[in-house]
Amino acid sequence: MKTATIHSVCECQNKLGAELDEQRRAIKGWARERRTGRVLVAPAHSIIRKDAEVFEVAWACPFCTRNQVRLFDTEGLSFREPGAQPASP
Q: Which residues bind Zn ion (CB under 5 A)?
A: 10, 12, 61, 63-64
Least Cβ distance, residue 71 to Zn ion (angstroms): 18
Least Cβ distance, residue 4 to Zn ion (angstroms): 22
Residue 3 vs 61, nearer CB to Zn ion: 61
Least Cβ distance, residue 16 to Zn ion (angstroms): 8
CA–CA separation, 85 and 64 (whole Å) = 29
In 3-state terms the chain splits into helix, strand, coil percentages (rounded to 5) of 5, 50, 50
Closest C-alpha among 31, 53, 54, 63 to residue 44: 31
CA–CA separation, 77 and 20 (whole Å) = 9
Residue 21 vs 33, nearer CB to Zn ion: 33
Residue 9 vs 84, nearer CB to Zn ion: 9
